Amino acid sequence: MAIGIYIHIPYCLKKCPYCDFYSVSYNESSADEYLAALLKATEHFSDKNLEIDSIYFGGGTPNLFTSKRIGTVIEKIKASFNVLDGCEITLEANPESLTDKEIYAFKNVGVNRLSMGLQSANESELKALNRLHSKSDIQRCIKTAKECGILNISLDLMIGLENQSKESLKNSIDFADSLDIEHISAYMLKIEKGTLFYKNKDKMALPDDDLTAELYSFFAEELAKRGFVGYEISNFAKNSRYSRHNLKYWRCEEYIGIGAAAHGFYRGERYYYKRSIKDFIASPVSYEFDSFGGSEEEYIMLKLRLREGVIFKEFRDKFKKDISNKLLERAEYYKKLGFLEKDYEHISLNKEGFLVSNTIISDLLSYI
């Protein structure tokens, strides 16, 4: 089975007030050192017998790393692994720092999928999020991407923003849909410790859990009207344009993670790099063991995030056993409550179940 490669690029122009991901300020000298470390780490994992069908540059703001450096990493990956024809190569990007010239250059080095942070199409919400881009920046980037042949484009939108309403959320959905893209990711605003929003949370007019749930339901319904299928709790696509790389996470498949703060799941083990660019540059092949991956519990937990859910035959083929009757009986209980679908082939959460997925999944796992 082909696996994926995740490359973490931790550079940002500035820290967003809600962001808990590891990031540092960009500078050329550091970027050159980081590139050298990425190449060494890639060589460390090198295996020409290993098939790769997805490469994902996440961050941070990976487009700041420049097309030249991204291209060098892609070439190193191709020299180190068996990269399959049609490999999905995704670049996360922020529109305010992504020039038209660089979009063409990214296409030329192999990038064929863009994932951009729109977050909102409402100027007041963008300002509250301290985002640097405007709607016109997004429009320009998508227009240029399509002109140069990057047709696989995803936008991020956020739910649960300060003073957000169904009307303002619909405005963002309408705007995103008007751009003729085929993938949208929805992220619930979560106030994380250590962020600026956490320090100011008591002063913020954030929606409560009930309203956030209403906004999510509204979001899913509005996207469905426009032809987007919610294939995962937070991800919606037209024409089966699913994120190949992220599906590996949710299907409990392996991927190699490289870079400061990156996580990986390879040869049955989950591992991570420390949240330190200095440590990664100094020792790019030093990472920490996290746990053994691929257990029944982990598999069920991740698969229930997907609309397809847990397919009994796949579970049987993977673990050489059937799902416990106790878990299936508990699933029947949630089916009667209207939170999931269950038949002789699978169990899966429905839209109502997605709203309380953490509670249901946690409960089901106690019956393994």
Task: Specify the DSSP element, H or E, that contains 47.
Answer: strand 47-59
**Which residue ranges does the chain devote to CATH 3.20.20.70?**
3-250
Three-state SS for 315? Answer: helix
Q: What local confidence, expressed as pLDDT, does residue 14 receive?
A: 82
pLDDT confidence of residue 35:
98
Report d(CA 323, CA 307) in Å as an integer. Answer: 18
Which tokens in the block code for residue 220?
């899913």
User: How many percent of the chain have pLDDT more than 90?
Assistant: 86
| Rounded average pLDDT over 276-293 | 97
The pLDDT assigned to 204 comes to 86
Tens digit of each residue's pLDDT (9 = 90 or more) over 137-188: 999 999 999 999 999 999 999 999 988 999 999 999 999 999 999 999 998 8
What confidence tens digit (pLDDT) does each residue in 216-246 have? 999 999 999 999 999 999 999 999 999 999 9
Residue range 335-347, pLDDT digits in tens = 999 999 999 999 9
Q: Which architecture, in CATH terms, is 3-250? A: Alpha-Beta Barrel (3.20)
CB 90 within 8 A of CB 54: yes
Bridge partners of residue 119, in order along the sequence: 157
Confidence at 15, pLDDT banded by 50, 70, 90: confident
For all residues of the chain together, what is the average pLDDT?
A: 95
- List, in order, residues 6 or more apart from 9 with CB less than 8 Å away: 34, 57, 58, 59, 60, 61, 62, 64, 65, 259
pLDDT at 19 over 80: no
Beta strands 11-12 and 24-25 are: parallel
The pLDDT of residue 21 is: 79
Are 147 and 100 spatial neighbours (Cβ–Cβ below 8 Å)? no
* pLDDT reading at 367 higher than 80: yes
Q: Which residues 6+ apart lie within 8 Å of 264 measured at CB? A: 6, 255, 256, 257, 258, 270, 271, 272, 287
User: What residues have CB less than 8 Å from 55, skipping those under 6 apart?
Assistant: 4, 5, 7, 74, 77, 83, 87, 88, 89, 90, 245
CA 30 to chain centre: 26
Residue 60 CB neighbours (<10 A): 24
Q: How far apart are CA 131 and CA 90, in angstroms?
A: 22
Q: Taking residues 71-85, what's their average pLDDT?
A: 98
Output the CA torsion sign for 142, 146, 148, 154: positive
Instruction: Decide if 83 contacts 77 (C-beta within 8 A).
Output: yes
pLDDT tens digits, 83-133: 999 999 999 999 999 999 999 999 999 999 999 999 999 999 999 888 889
